Amino acid sequence: MNSERRQLNPQEKIAALKRHLLEGVPVSTICDELGIAPTVFYRWQKELFENGHTARFPFAGLRTLPDIASLPSLPLVH
């Protein structure tokens, strides 16, 4: 991993979660590609699960779960 901190926008976070939850990509693969720790990914997932029933996700501004499924997948970072 890189020592620089990378800020991902809400759409990138949702796309990463989508890749794991809907497409079955392993968390380790996504984390390696994004240069993040698995604990960060799991924190995003926890936020989604805890706040998905509300009208807005706190870190994305998306309205419903179908909005997540309609987002494009995050491109691979090499």
- Are the C-beta atoms of residues 35 and 2 closer than 8 Å to each other? yes
CA–CA separation, 48 vs 52, rounded Å? Answer: 5
What is residue 9's predicted lDDT score, i.e. its pLDDT?
A: 84
CA distance 22 to 15: 10
Amino acid 68: pLDDT: 57
Contact 57, 48 (CB under 8 A): yes
Domain ranges of the chain: 10-70
For 2-45, the pLDDT digits (tens) are 556 678 888 888 899 999 999 999 999 999 999 999 999 999 99
CATH number of 10-70: 1.10.10
Q: What is the CA radius of gyration of the chain?
A: 12
pTM to 2 decimal places: 0.63
